[in-house]
Amino acid sequence: MQSLCLSQCIRSLWAPAQTNLLLKLGKVQKYVNCQLQHSKTMENKPWALISEIGALGYPEELIDIMMKRFHVVSHKDFLQNLQLYSPKVQVLFCWNNSPAVEPSLLRLLPSLKVVANGGAGINHLDVPYINSLGVKVTNTPGVVSSATADIALGLLLASARDIVTSHQIAVDPNTTSLPTSMMGVDVTGSTMGIVGMGNIGYKIAQRGRGFEMKILYYNRRRRNVKEEQAVGARYCQSLDELLKDSDFVVLAVNLTPETTGLIGHRELSLMRSTATLVNISRGQVVDQDALVDALRSGTIRGAALDVTHPEPLPRDHPLLSLPNVVITTHIGTNTMNTCHRMVESMINNSLAVLTGRPIPNEVRAHEPDRQKNTGLIGHRELSLMRSTATLVNISRGQVVDQDALVDALRSGTIRGAALDVTHPEPLPRDHPLLSLPNVVITTHIGTNTMNTCHRMVESMINNSLAVLTGQPIPNEVRAQ
Q: Whole-angstrom Cα distance, residue 23 to residue 200?
A: 58
Give the least confident one: 4-8, 272-276, 344-348, 398-402.
4-8
Looking at 52, 311, 344, 381, which residue is catalytic? Answer: 311
Looking at 282, 301, 341, 362, which residue is catalytic? Answer: 282
309: annotated active-site residue = no
282: annotated active-site residue = yes
Looking at 71, 223, 301, 330, which residue is catalytic? Answer: 330
The stretch 382-409 carries a mean pLDDT of 94
Domain borders along the chain are: 22-142+337-355, 144-327, 382-441
- Say what the pLDDT of residue 36 is: 46
Q: Which CATH superfamily is domain 22-142+337-355 in?
A: NAD(P)-binding Rossmann-like Domain (3.40.50.720)
Q: Whole-angstrom Cα distance, residue 416 to residue 433?
A: 11
Q: Whole-angstrom Cα distance, residue 236 to residue 281?
A: 20
Nearest CA among 128, 132, 148 for reference residue 140: 148
Judge residue 49's burial from the number of C-beta atoms within 10 Å of its C-beta, 0-12 exposed, 13-18 middle, 19 or more buried.
buried
Tell me: pLDDT of 249 over 70: yes
Q: 263 Cβ partners below 8 Å, 6+ apart?
A: 251, 277, 285, 286, 287, 290, 291
Tell me: pLDDT of 194 over 90: yes
Give the domain 144-327 fold. Rossmann fold (3.40.50)
- Say what the pLDDT of residue 54 is: 75
444: annotated active-site residue = no
**pLDDT tens digit string along 32-86?**
454 445 444 446 899 999 998 876 678 888 899 999 999 999 999 999 999 999 9
pTM beyond 0.75, yes or no: no
